[in-house]
Amino acid sequence: MKQGVDESFARGVRLDEWEDDGSDEFDGTWKKLQDNDWPVWQT
């Protein structure tokens, strides 16, 4: 999305893609996503 085109992103919010790398950290995050019905917020 281009800045200013869609209001779904607020200043300071980032969206990072994370390919499945087979790590335990990825698997744990994926499970959190499914359990919480998406998204997972990190600060």
Q: With bands split at pLDDT 50, 70 and 90, how would you rate the model's confidence at 6?
A: low
Cα–chain center distance at 16: 6
Q: How far is it, in rounded angstroms, from Cα 34 to Cα 29?
A: 9
pTM above 0.85, yes or no: no
Cα 42–Cα 3–Cα 15 angle in degrees, nearest 5:
20
Q: With bands split at pLDDT 50, 70 and 90, how would you rate the model's confidence at 7?
A: low
pLDDT digits 0-9 by tens, 11-37:
777 778 889 999 999 999 889 888 887
Kindly tell me if the per-residue pLDDT of 2 is higher than 90: no
Contact between residue 3 and residue 14 where contact means Cβ atoms under 8 Å apart: no
